[in-house]
Amino acid sequence: MLVRGIDTLRAHRDMHPASSTVQKTTVAQEPQTSPTLHHIGFVVSSIREEIEGFTSSVGATWNGEIFDDPLQQVQVTFLQPASANEAAIELIEPTVDSSPVSRFLERGGGLHHLCYELDDLDGALKLARARGSLVVKQPLPAVAFKGRRIAWVVTRNRLVIEYLER
């Protein structure tokens, strides 16, 4: 019985020489961090007029900084949540009538988008397209994020998502 087992092992080795003589090694890939909800964007007619109402209603703080982003034709500011584990609130004010958010504001403004921070922006856009989403704004640098790239996607069910590259 032992001889038959050894013969079986030898036959396997002869049919699959790599399995007995070469050890396979795997190259460790750096783990990618999961996308995290970075902020929730609201379109408003005036940041300065709306800021107090937002800070008091969500219990957030504001550092007073407003960013002017000429590429997106908006001004934005961020409210910091009480807990570091929560997403920030972004207030977005169009600076010209041709701003991408002007029409949204004409219809009342309000909740506009969710922003996810992620490692692989190009990969996320490829996956979004594969899932039937429409990339409405290709990657571009954002003033509010010190030049980190953002991109805009609209999902099949009309959810507006901003992707922010880490």
Secondary structure (DSSP) of 93-127: EESSTTSTTHHHHHTT-EEEEEEEEES-HHHHHHH
Question: 């910091």: which residue's tokens?
Answer: 80
Determine the pLDDT at residue 31: 46
Answer whether residue 5 is part of any domain.
Answer: no
Answer whether residue 146 is part of any domain.
Answer: yes
Q: What is the pLDDT of residues 130-146, one digit of tens each?
A: 999 999 999 999 999 99
Q: Residue 72 in contact with residue 99, Cβ under 8 Å?
A: yes
Answer whether residue 85 is part of any domain.
Answer: yes
Runs of H (alpha helix) within 22-71 = 47-58
Answer whether residue 25 is part of any domain.
Answer: no
Answer whether residue 19 is part of any domain.
Answer: no
Determine the pLDDT at residue 32: 61
Domain count for the chain, please give it: 1
Closest CA to 66 of 50, 53, 82: 50
Answer whether residue 125 is part of any domain.
Answer: yes
Structural Rg of the chain based on CA atoms: 25
Q: What is the pLDDT of residues 5-28, one digit of tens each?
A: 444 444 444 544 444 444 444 444
Q: Which domain holds residue 133?
A: 36-165
Answer whether residue 20 is part of any domain.
Answer: no
CA pseudo-torsion sign 39, 40, 45, 46: negative
Determine the pLDDT at residue 84: 86
Banded model confidence at residue 39, pLDDT cuts 50, 70, 90: very high
Characterize 71-88 residue by residue with b for buried, 16 or more Cβ atoms within 10 angstroms of its Cβ, and e for exposed: ebbbbbbbbebeeeeeeb
Q: What is the pLDDT of residues 48-106, one digit of tens each?
A: 999 999 999 999 999 999 999 999 999 999 999 988 889 999 999 999 999 999 999 99
Q: Quote the CA–CA distance of 18 and 47 in Å, as a whole number.
A: 66
Answer whether residue 17 is part of any domain.
Answer: no
Q: In this structure, what CATH number is given to the domain that contains residue 124?
A: 3.10.180.10
List the structure tokens of 38: 């970075």
Q: How many CA atoms lie within 13 A of 16 on its CB side?
A: 6
Q: Residue 58 in contact with residue 89, Cβ under 8 Å?
A: yes
